[in-house]
């Protein structure tokens, strides 16, 4: 039996797909290069934007054709699925399975003779018939958010009574931070601790032989008002330290050079009473071997001075911090339930630059959040100019059913969102170019990721792309064997940077 996995969304989903592949390979499934040759297609879903959901439903006719030519052909969907979309997918796919239960996939497929037999345990009850989420207009939203804050203790009391609600044991203070907590629901966090532990201990089938994603936690407790992640992935659950260290030790022994730690908010990593994220970083830094450590993502409300100093002190931690700003306007940040101000964000970036030499700072920004005025947008432009980001992932706001902001009026037109996106892109192009020009003439370590006949390609510690020109070296003209010796895929090389543009660097091997 051959399988094909199609992955949507962020690095977390890509990492999960490696675990899905691990489970299937263990059950003797073989990877298919082409979707059309597979007996099993697994869609690993992202729900962060409406478009992906529509695309999947729209493309499904293709699988109906595959079923006609191959009677064994089956379709599975997993990943970040909103309970409201789950009903839609139930009708289309042979199996809808929670990612935390993915270890059971081969067994569930065996028993999956008809669509009716193999549906997951998801409840069809919607999680979002929530009379306790923020009531919306006609009153101003910000006032509504304040009014809602008063209700949060009532919600918390209900939530804490329901053990099924929170699959990680959230502390009181964590729970109190859920100002926009929806009404309790048994459907979207049905998974038990055992399932999560099973999921963490799956042996992944890594995509790359150089870089490995290592999940350190799953879920999110933050409930940013626009975001589906707490609904699709449930509450935060941290992975045990020894499991993480074992996985990394093995990876490094097998030649991996870049370890990317994953979590929606790595700063709240808390597997036990005495380990936190900075401590985890120090432990990983002590794993013997020559490798780099990266992590994604940090939340500005939680990133600490201790973490910044740890990154600065640990040799294997790379000089790159991804810190999602989302907006540079305090009122919008409050409506987003982000719990920090633009001033705080700015102070953090100053602290990062002061402590971590040659650091690159990247961010996510949402433009056109409900009610975002021109002046509020200008505040985002202003902070972007001030911070001088190396990269900004700019997202046009898209309302997602069930989130708090979906009840707000999405009143910034698509055309205006596009215009604001162009303005921010122009600022980014300028600051990224200025930052990259600082590298010209310097010789730096680059991890070589691939090469073709004329160029090698790699990354700097600060997460910059580098294109390395072979033809620059007289000693390489002699022959291919010598070229291979000089720049080897999967190894670090000293590269002298010769050129820079906004999106990357160019260089040559130091003689």
Q: Which of 178, 294, 299, 417 binds ligand SF4 (CB under 6 A)?
A: 299
State both tokens at 179: 């100002």
Q: CB–CB of 166/189 below 8 Å?
A: yes
Q: Which range of residues in 41-49, 352-360, 361-369, 439-447 is near ligand F3S by CB under 6 A? A: 41-49
Identify residues 225-244 at the interface with ligand SF4 (CB under 6 A).
Answer: 227, 229-230
Q: Which is nearer to ligand F3S, 385 or 396 (CB)?
A: 396
Tell whether residue 395 is a contact of ligand F3S (CB under 6 A): no
420 binds, among ligand SF4, ligand SAH, ligand F3S, none (CB under 5 to 8 A by kind): none
Q: Which is nearer to ligand SF4, 326 or 436 (CB)?
A: 326
Q: CB–CB of 435/462 below 8 Å?
A: no
397 binds, among ligand SF4, ligand SAH, ligand F3S, none (CB under 5 to 8 A by kind): ligand SAH
Q: CB–CB of 363/322 below 8 Å?
A: yes
Identify residues 255-274 at the interface with ligand SF4 (CB under 6 A).
Answer: 264-265
Q: Which is nearer to ligand SF4, 220 or 293 (CB)?
A: 220
Q: Which of 133, 180, 222, 395 binds ligand SF4 (CB under 6 A)?
A: 222
387 binds, among ligand SAH, ligand F3S, ligand SF4, none (CB under 5 to 8 A by kind): none
Q: Which is nearer to ligand SF4, 84 or 265 (CB)?
A: 265
What is the SS3 assignment for 348-378? HHHHHHHHCCCCEEEEEEEECCCCCCHHHHH
Neighbours of 184 (CB within 10 A): 19
List the beta bridge partners of residue 451: 456
Smallest gap from residue 278 Cβ to ligand SF4 (A): 19
Tell whether residue 473 is a contact of ligand SF4 (CB under 6 A): no
Smallest gap from residue 220 Cβ to ligand F3S (A): 8
CA-nearest of 307, 161, 302, 283 to 236 is 302
CA-nearest of 121, 234, 146, 145 to 184 is 234
Q: Which of 3, 9, 40, 247 binds ligand F3S (CB under 6 A)?
A: 9
Q: Which is nearer to ligand SF4, 268 or 310 (CB)?
A: 268
Tell whether residue 224 is a contact of ligand SF4 (CB under 6 A): yes
Smallest gap from residue 106 Cβ to ligand SAH (A): 30
State both tokens at 155: 């919600």
Q: Which range of residues in 167-175, 228-236, 246-254, 395-403 is near ligand F3S by CB under 6 A? A: 228-236
Q: Which range of residues in 26-34, 220-228, 240-248, 384-392 is near ligand SF4 by CB under 6 A? A: 220-228
Q: CB–CB of 60/24 below 8 Å?
A: no
Smallest gap from residue 11 Cβ to ligand F3S (A): 8
Q: How many residues bind ligand SF4 (CB under 6 A)?
A: 10
State both tokens at 111: 């028993």
Q: Which is nearer to ligand SAH, 108 or 270 (CB)?
A: 270
232 binds, among ligand SF4, ligand F3S, ligand SAH, none (CB under 5 to 8 A by kind): ligand F3S
Map tokens 């997993």 to a residue: 78
Q: Which is nearer to ligand SAH, 307 or 505 (CB)?
A: 307
List the beta bridge partners of residue 106: none
CA-nearest of 415, 294, 309, 410 to 357 is 309
Sign of CA dihedral 10, 103, 57, 370: negative
Q: Please report, as ranges, the residues that interact with ligand SAH according to CB under 6 A.
A: 10, 48, 226-227, 229, 264-265, 297, 299, 324, 326, 364, 366, 395, 397-398, 400
185 binds, among ligand SF4, ligand F3S, ligand SAH, none (CB under 5 to 8 A by kind): none
List the beta bridge partners of residue 455: 469
12 binds, among ligand F3S, ligand SAH, ligand SF4, none (CB under 5 to 8 A by kind): ligand F3S
Q: How far is CA 398 from CA 214, 275, 408, 438, in A?
A: 29, 37, 11, 36
Give the helix/strand (H/E) hosting 308.
helix 305-313
Smallest gap from residue 142 Cβ to ligand SF4 (A): 18
Q: Which is nearer to ligand SF4, 76 or 220 (CB)?
A: 220
Cα gap 26→29, rounded to integer Å: 7
What is the SS3 assignment for 454-508? CEEEEEECCCCEEEEEHHHCHHHCCCHHHHHHHCCCCCEEEEEEEEEECCEEEEE
Cα gap 479→157, rounded to integer Å: 72
Cα gap 93→89, rounded to integer Å: 6
Q: Which range of residues in 10-18, 31-39, 149-157, 330-338 is near ligand F3S by CB under 6 A? A: 10-18
Cα gap 422→180, rounded to integer Å: 31
- Binding residues (CB under 6 A) for ligand F3S: these are 9-10, 12-13, 46-48, 80, 228-229, 232-233
Binding site for ligand SF4 (CB under 6 A): 220, 222-224, 227, 229-230, 264-265, 299
């Amino acid at each position: 039996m051959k399988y094909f996995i199609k992955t949507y969304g962020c690095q977390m989903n890509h990492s999960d797909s490696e675990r899905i592949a691990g489970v299937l390979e263990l059950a003797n499934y073989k990877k298919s290069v082409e979707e059309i040759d597979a007996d099993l297609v697994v869609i690993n879903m992202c729900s962060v934007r409406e478009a992906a959901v529509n695309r999947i439903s729209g493309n499904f006719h293709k699988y109906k054709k595959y079923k006609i030519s191959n009677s064994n052909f089956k379709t599975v969907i997993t990943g970040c699925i909103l309970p409201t979309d789950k009903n839609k997918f139930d009708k289309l796919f042979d199996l809808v399975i929670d990612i935390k239960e993915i270890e059971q996939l081969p067994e569930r497929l065996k028993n999956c003779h008809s669509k009716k037999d193999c549906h997951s345990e998801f409840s069809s009850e919607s999680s979002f018939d929530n009379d306790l989420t923020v009531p919306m207009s006609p009153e101003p939203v910000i006032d509504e958010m304040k009014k809602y804050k008063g209700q949060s203790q009532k919600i918390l009391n209900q939530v804490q009574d329901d053990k099924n609600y929170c699959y990680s044991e959230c502390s009181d203070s964590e729970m109190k931070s859920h100002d926009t907590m929806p009404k309790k629901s048994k459907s979207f966090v049905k998974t038990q601790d055992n399932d999560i532990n099973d999921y963490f201990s799956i042996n992944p089938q890594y995509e790359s032989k150089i870089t490995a994603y290592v999940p350190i936690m799953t879920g999110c407790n933050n409930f940013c008002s626009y975001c589906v992640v707490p609904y699709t992935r449930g509450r935060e659950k941290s992975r045990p330290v020894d499991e993480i260290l074992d996985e990394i030790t093995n990876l490094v022994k097998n030649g991996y050079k870049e370890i990317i730690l994953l979590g929606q908010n790595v700063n709240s990593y808390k597997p036990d009473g005495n380990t936190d994220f900075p401590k985890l970083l120090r432990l990983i830094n002590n794993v013997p071997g020559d490798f780099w450590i990266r992590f994604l993502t940090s939340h500005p409300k939680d990133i600490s001075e201790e973490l910044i100093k740890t990154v600065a002190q640990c040799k294997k931690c790379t000089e790159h911090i991804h810190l999602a700003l989302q907006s540079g306007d305090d009122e919008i940040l409050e409506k987003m339930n982000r719990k920090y101000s633009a001033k705080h964000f700015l102070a953090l970036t100053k602290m990062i630059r002061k402590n971590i030499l040659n650091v690159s700072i990247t961010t996510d920004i949402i433009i056109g959040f409900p009610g975002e005025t021109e002046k509020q947008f200008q505040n985002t432009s202003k902070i972007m100019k001030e911070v001088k980001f190396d990269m900004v992932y700019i997202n046009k706001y898209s309302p997602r059913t069930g989130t708090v902001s979906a009840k707000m009026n999405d009143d910034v037109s698509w055309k205006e969102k596009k215009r604001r996106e162009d303005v921010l892109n122009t600022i980014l192009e300028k600051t990224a170019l200025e930052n990259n020009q600082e590298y010209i003439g310097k010789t730096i370590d680059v991890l070589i990721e691939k090469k073709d006949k004329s160029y090698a390609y790699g990354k700097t510690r600060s997460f910059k792309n580098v294109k390395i020109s072979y033809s620059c070296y007289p000693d390489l003209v002699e022959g291919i064997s010598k070229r291979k010796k000089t720049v080897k895929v999967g190894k670090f090389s000293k590269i002298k940077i010769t050129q820079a543009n906004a999106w990357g660097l160019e260089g040559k091997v130091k003689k």
